[in-house]
Amino acid sequence: MTGGPAEPVLSVEGLEVHYRVRVPGQRGKVTARAVDGVDLVVHAGETLALVGESGSGKTSIANAVMRLIEPAAGRIVFDGIDLVPLRGRALRKMRPHFQMIFQDPFESLDPRRTVLDTVMEPLVINGIGESADDRRKLALVALARAGLTPPERMGARFTHQLSGGQRQRVAIAAAMILEPALVVADEPVSMLDVSLRAGILTVMADMRDRLGVAYLFITHDLSLAWMFADRIAVVYLGRVVEEGTSADLIDSPAHPYTRALVSVIPVPETSRDAQRTVLSGETPNPSAIPSGCRFHTRCPLYRELGEPARCREVDPMLAEVHSVVGGHRAACHFIDQQGVS
Amino acid sequence: MTSDQAAQGIDDIEYEKPPSNWTLLWGDRMGRWGIIILVVVTVLAVFGPMIWPFDPAAVGEDSSSIFQPPSSAHWLGTDELGRDVFSQFLMGARISLFVGIMATLIATVIGAGIGVMAGFFRGPVDSAAMGVTDFFLVVPALPLMIALAAIFGQNLLIVIIVIGALAWPRTARIVRSQTLSLRERQFVPRARSLGASNARIIRTNITPHLLALIVANTILVVAGCILAEATLSFIGLGDPNRISWGSMLHFGFVSGAVGRGAWWYFLPPGLGILVVVLGFTLVGQSFERVTNPKMRGGA
Ligand code: SF4
């Protein structure tokens, strides 16, 4: 890594993703702001977890970063190059450097292909390797690395003959064979049996250590993010509401939303006061984002403080929270008034 | 690591190979009848004219040889010029099948091509393609075929092209809707993220999943094309130099065979068309049923 740790492999600036959706009771279509101004930075070899409920926009962020959907605004700078204006061949030439692991290994792999063909396909598409034999060797190495052993025997199988966990390993092997600098992992274990999750995460962590790959790890599970990621960004209704190192964010969450999420994590060391904050209500619709702070319709602190007008009127920006390591930021007008009462 | 051992254990289960579509088709009663019909007709059409001793164009020697009822020599009797009807029937089967299949190939290429493009690219491509498709779907086919045949003349190639050019809209619609749902499957964005071009995604990720659907639809289209050829020929717009079942019906009527009760002249081609269309429809519907797991489960 020539740029040193300060050099980001990915930086997302002011990302917006809009959808045109039909709303019952309204004529025509309205704009849903699924992603509404998101900034993210992922450094080389680092794992950033994007945590949010369904409907938070986290998957839209992942798909936009992968250039699978068109952002409405913003820059997606990968290795110093803005990907947003790239089209066609120019974009395809960049693609090997950022790869994706999809949520559902039953849907993302062609069941009629052998494992070896599936893992060799990225090489074929990108014209990597001198010969078929060359590609075969690379694929066998990738399979072994993903824990599919013996690779010769596993490679000869059809993907439809594999279990979910094995398929996800195939998907990981295929993504990693291109030696990407960044891998976007969209809920990579949520479709898998709980007993298989640790194995998949171990393989992913191993790739990070051995190949120096950076992860953008999308999950709805804060405890999983805490376990796997260096840093966490919490997403609510298309906006990052808090970000920081995993330890900081879990130990001293600053935003009322994060506090609520943290309070319901089953924690092994039950030193923390066992007060659980269960949020009431549903996440509002992204086609009708609440005014001011978008969380005020569900915010316990807002109610506790007597519903201050500022929350309804002024959209809070991410601001530094005092922390030991730094880089801990939250978007709330009343960060300092937490837990005082 | 126990979880890994559990995962590895699964791959030792023997997986049964799913039965092929053809096995399933043969196992389906309707499909089996359809196949039997089509095999018999095809064998008759291909080998019949080689074996049967009479030339379909050979005119009888005198007036006593015209409109002869079926006999041991002329199984289906003779026509108004004393020609052997059974040899015409065999030759007619050839032309009817040939025109039906060739026109279907044209229709399938156009229909599947337009359907895939519309479904895959959506947006303006889709709107334009579906506009054209809807136009061809509502345009009254028969008058248009008559007009085109009248303009471009009457030979086999023109007949094939005219029928094929009008038979594709249904295929386009079906292929489009299937493509629309296929492109939402996760293997499409996955292929794209690996760096695959649109052309490659269509070729390797979309088309293989459409094949069963296209085959089923194609078989049904053949039935329609054979009927269309028969209709054109019956109203006298076919190739006058070729004998098809439709043209046999045409000459059966204009020669007065119906009035004379010479049923052996007009009944065989009529039944031939009926049976072949039935054969293709049975196979097509059966194929649709056995290749569509959702429909298969309901049986
Ligand atoms: S700004 Fe107000 S409404 Fe928003 S999180 Fe903070 S206290 Fe709650």
| pLDDT reported for residue B242 | 84
Rounded to a whole number, what is the distance in Å from the CA of B287 to chain A's nearest CA? 20
| pLDDT reported for residue A272 | 54
| pLDDT reported for residue B260 | 80
CA dist B269 and B274 (Å) reads 9
Q: Which residues pair with A78 in a beta bridge?
A: A10, A81
Helices (H), chain B: 2-10, 21-27, 29-51, 85-121, 123-138, 141-152, 156-166, 169-182, 187-193, 198-201, 207-234, 245-254, 263-291, 293-298
| pLDDT reported for residue B165 | 87
| pLDDT reported for residue A282 | 80
> pLDDT 10s per residue in chain A (341 long)?
444 455 799 999 999 999 988 877 777 888 899 999 999 999 999 999 999 998 899 999 999 999 999 999 999 999 999 999 999 999 999 999 999 999 988 888 887 788 999 999 999 999 998 888 999 999 999 999 999 989 889 888 988 888 888 999 999 999 999 999 999 999 999 888 888 899 999 999 999 998 899 999 999 999 999 999 999 999 999 999 999 999 989 988 999 999 999 988 876 555 555 577 778 778 888 888 999 999 999 999 998 888 898 899 999 999 888 766 778 999 999 887 654 43
ipTM above 0.90, yes or no: no
Between residues B9 and B153, the one the model is more confident about: B153
Residues on chain A touching B11 (C-beta within 8 angstroms): 154, 157, 161-163, 166
| Closest C-alpha among A316, A333, A63 to residue A185 | A63
- Longest alpha-carbon distance in chain B: 96
Token output for A322? 């005092």
pTM, whole model, 2 decimals? 0.79
DSSP A69: S
| Closest C-alpha among A341, A332, A314, A333 to residue A257 | A332
Tens-digit pLDDT profile for residues B221-252: 999 999 988 888 888 888 888 888 988 888 88
For the cut 50, the answer to whether the pLDDT of residue B7 exceeds it is no
The answer, for A291 touching chain B at a CB cutoff of 8 Å, is no
Token output for B209? 């999943």
| pLDDT reported for residue A268 | 59
| pLDDT reported for residue B3 | 43
For the cut 70, the answer to whether the pLDDT of residue B8 exceeds it is no
Between residues B153 and A208, the one the model is more confident about: A208
Mutational pocket test of ligand 1: of A234, A304, A334, the residue with most ligand atoms within 8 Å of the beta carbon? A334
Between residues B1 and A94, the one the model is more confident about: A94
- Closest residue by Cα to atom 2, ligand 1, is A311
> CB–CB of B81/B87 below 8 Å?
no
| pLDDT reported for residue B38 | 92
| pLDDT reported for residue A129 | 84
Average pLDDT, chain A: 88
**Atom number in ligand 1 closest to CA A337:** 7
CA dist B235 and B91 (Å) reads 19
Determine the distance separating the centroid of ligand 1 and the alpha carbon of A311, expressed in angstroms.
5
| Beta carbons within 8 Å of B151's beta carbon, 6+ residues apart | none
Question: What's the whole-number mean pLDDT along residues B56-80?
Answer: 76
Of the given ranges (A43-47, A57-61, B191-195, B204-208), which has the lowest mean pLDDT?
Answer: B204-208
Of the partner residues B3, B193, B196, the one whose CB lies closest to the CB of residue A68 = B193
> Best mutation site among B1, B2, B3 for testing chain A: the one with the most A CBs within 10 Å?
B3
Helix, strand or coil for residue A339?
coil
- Closest residue by Cα to atom 1, ligand 1, is A332
Question: What's the whole-number mean pLDDT along residues B187-209?
Answer: 91
| pLDDT reported for residue A24 | 78
What domains, with CATH codes, occur in chain B?
23-47+90-291 (1.10.3720.10)
User: Residue B299 — pLDDT band, cuts 50, 70, 90?
Assistant: very low
Between residues B264 and B116, the one the model is more confident about: B116
| pLDDT reported for residue A169 | 93
